[in-house]
Chain A
Amino acid sequence: MHKFIQIILIFLTIISISCKRDRKEEKYIIKSKWASDRELYQVKTDSIQIAIDSNSIATYFTVSIFTENNIDYLFGYNAVTSSIDIFNLTARKFYKRLKLKRDSTFFKNLDKQDLDKNRSITDIHVLNFDSIIVNYSNKKIFILDTSMRVKKVVELAGSALKNKVSGQSTSYSNNFRMFFFDKKLILGQIYSVYNWEEKVPSFLSLDLVKEENTFLPLTYSNYLYDIKGNAGYMTAIATSEFQKPGVLTYGFFYESNIYQYNPKDSNIYSYGGKMSNGKNIVDSISYHTDEDLKKWDVHILENSQFFNIMYDKYRKLYYRFSLKNIPYKNGKYYNSLLDKPLILMVFNEKLELIKELELPKYLYAVNTWFVTPEGLFISPTGRKNKFKDFDHLRYHIIKIKQHLLK
C-alpha cells in the first residue's frame, strides 16, 4: 500500500513538472506557423571539397563570407598558423593565407588551441579585400587590409568608446556574431552586474568611420528577465552576418522565438520558431558559488539550444539550427553535447515554417554554417564523425528549392 502511494506521488510530481513546463511554453513561446505552400519546397544536399596543405585546418569556426565578381570567398581564422585563410569557394581552391603579424603587440600571443578567448580572434567580418574586420579578444576591433596592415583600431571597453557606456562590447563566432546593420557594426553589450528588474540595452551600434557608438533599443527577452538571468550557459543572443536588408533578425539561445527589429517604425516583431519535439524554452537554473559547475553542463544538455537566424537573400529564406535536449543519463553511461540531435528549420520570407529536418547524428560540426548563392553550407566534421579527412576542407551544401505549380 505504502509503495502504491509512493508511485502515485512520483506520478503526480512528474505531471506537475510537465504541466509547469507547458504553462511556461504557453506563456512565452510562439507556435510556428506552417507555410501553406511548404509542400512545394524540396531539399537536396551536395558536397564540395578543397585540397588543403598541412598548415590548414579541416574545420573553420570563425568565418566570414565575401562575394566579389560572382566569386564567393571564405575567410576563416586559423589559430594554428595565426592567420586568416582565404578559400575561393566557387573555384573550390585555396586562395591565400594572411598571416596576422607576429611582431605586432596585439597578435603575438594568440592561443594556438583557440580555447582561450582572451588570446584569440573571437570574430571576423569581411567588408571587402581591403577591409577585414577582426575582433581581438573583445579588446580591440582591427580593420586590416589584405597586406595585413592595420587601417584602424577601435578599443572595445565601454569606457574607451566615444560615448562612454557601461559594460563591455563583445562578439564571438558562436555567440552574438558581429554584423553590419545600417552601415554600422553591431556588437553585443554585456554588463558585469544585471539587476534583472530594469531592462538594459544588449545591442551596441558602432560607427567605424566616426567612431561613434549608440545603443539599439533591443534587450534580452522577457523570459530571461523573469527568471533573473538564470539560463546557465544559454544566456546568449544569437545573431548572424546574413541579415535581410532593412530589418535586424535575432534570437536567443534559451528560447525558440525569432525576433525582428524594424528601425523604420522602431517595432520589434516576434515570430514562432517552435520545434515540434523537445523543449522550446530553457529551464531556470540557480547556481551558488559552492556548487559543482557540472550542474551547468547537465543543464545545457537537458535543454534545447537555438542558434542564429540566417537570411538567404538568394532564395528569400531563413535558416536556423538548434540542438535538441537529451537526458544526461544514457543507461550506465552519459550523454554529451555531441550527442544532441541537430535540427534545421527553414522559414520563408514571412518567417513561416517550410521545413523542420533532423540532420544525421554526429555528422556535422555546429557553428560552421554560412550562406552563399549555392546554398546553406555546413561542415561534415562533427567531432564524433569517424570519417576524418585532413587533406581537404569539406562542406555539405543544403539546397532548398521551390517547385512552381504548373
Chain B
Amino acid sequence: MRLSIYSIIIILTIIASCKSKLSEDESHLDMYFEEKHNIKRTDFNNYFLIVISGDCGSCTEKTIKFLKRIGDPNNKRFSGYKKIVIVPENNAYVLDSVKNTSIKFFVEEGFELEKYGIKFPKNTLFEFKNNNLIYKDWLYLENVDKVAKKYGLSL
C-alpha cells in the first residue's frame, strides 16, 4: 500500500515537472520578449510565431506567400490566432511585401536575436496553443508547401 502511494507521488511529480518545463526555444522566446519588448509571451495565448532568418535567402519568397495567406484579414480560419513575425533588419524588406495583414512585426536591429538564442539557419514557424508549443517546422523551399498544406492552404 505504502509502495503504491509512493509510486503515485513519483508519477504525479514527473507529470507536474514535465508540464512546467519549457522547451529551450520557449525559454529563449520568453527572455527575448520580456527583456527586449517588456511583453509576457503568455499574453499571446494562441498564436503563430515566425522567426525570419537573416541568412536564408532561398527561404524568403515562399515564406512571404505563406505569411500573406495566414495574415489575410479575410481568412477567418485563423482569426483566433495572433500572428507574430520577428525579422532581423538585414531582411526587413519582407515587411514591404506583406502589407495590409493582421501580422504584428518585430524588426530587430543590432543583431541581437542571437543573444537570446533565437537565431535560426532557416525561417522557422512555431504554433502555440494556450501558450504551449505544439508545432515547429522550417519555412524553407518546398517545406513551406508541406507546412501550408498542414494548415489547409495551398500556395
Contact = CB atoms under 8 A, between A and B. Distances in A.
B91 A294 contact: no
Given A297-B121, A333-B116, A113 B93 contact: yes
B131 interface: no
B68 interface: no
A115 B60 contact: yes
B121 A332 contact: no
Contacts of A200: none
Contacts of A294: 120-121
B73 interface: no
Contact of B120 (A114, A118, A293): A293
Nearest to A111: B57
A112 B94 CA distance: 12
Contacts of B60: 113, 115-116
Chain B's interface size range is: 20 to 34
Tell which of B54, B56, B57 has the most Cβ of chain A within 10 Å.
B57
A119 B59 CA distance: 13
B91 A113 contact: yes
Contact of A296 (B31, B93, B121): B121
Interface residues of A, number: 24
A383 interface: yes
B122 to A, nearest CB: 7
Interface string B72-88: 00000000000000000
Interface in B87-140: 90-91, 93, 110-111, 114-117, 119-122, 138
A293 B116 contact: no
A341 to B, nearest CB: 16
Tell which of B54, B121, B122 has the most Cβ of chain A within 10 Å.
B121
A117 interface: yes
B57 A332 contact: no
Main secondary structure of the interface of A (DSSP, over half): loop
B64 to A, nearest CB: 12
B42 interface: no
A119 B58 CA distance: 9
Contacts of A333: 115-117
Nearest to A328: B117
Contacts of B115: 330, 333-334, 336
20 contacts: A113-B57, A113-B60, A113-B90, A113-B91, A115-B56, A115-B58, A117-B57, A117-B58, A119-B57, A120-B57, A293-B120, A296-B121, A332-B31, A333-B117, A334-B115, A336-B114, A336-B115, A336-B119, A338-B114, A383-B90
Interface of B: 31, 54-58, 60, 90-91, 93, 110-111, 114-117, 119-122, 138
Given A113-B90, A113-B91, A336-B114, 18 more contacts: A112-B93, A113-B93, A115-B57, A115-B58, A115-B60, A116-B57, A116-B60, A119-B57, A293-B122, A293-B138, A297-B120, A332-B31, A333-B116, A336-B115, A336-B119, A383-B90, A383-B111, A384-B110
